[in-house]
Amino acid sequence: MPVEWVVSTFDAQTLAVMLLLGIDIGTSSIKVSVVDAQTQDRIVSVSYPETETEIISKQPGWAEQNPDTWWEHTQQAILK
């Protein structure tokens, strides 16, 4: 059975769009935005998780968070 190839011409620059991914790691949630580099238009913004991230306080005046949680929440925000 013969194979037919369809060849189309296009301007590669027309299809090229540079997108920027911004990540804000805050104490309550991770915020992620995708922005068109040329127009500076925001394509999408999301945050994760929907509830505030736990803050560990082993002593008065101390505040800690688990960096593994930041990484997991960053991945989940990007997947949204």
Supply the pTM of this predicted model.
0.70
- Burial track 1-21 (b if 16+ CB lie within 10 A, e otherwise): eeeeeeeeeeeeeeeeeeeee
Cα gap 48→29, rounded to integer Å: 6
Q: Work out the mean pLDDT of the chain and round it to a whole number.
A: 85
Cα gap 40→49, rounded to integer Å: 26
pLDDT at 1 (0 to 100): 47
Q: Give the residue-averaged pLDDT of 30-50.
A: 93
**CB burial of residue 55 (10 Å; 0-12, 13-18, 19+):** exposed
pLDDT digits (tens, 9 = 90+) for 48-78: 999 888 899 999 999 999 999 999 999 999 9
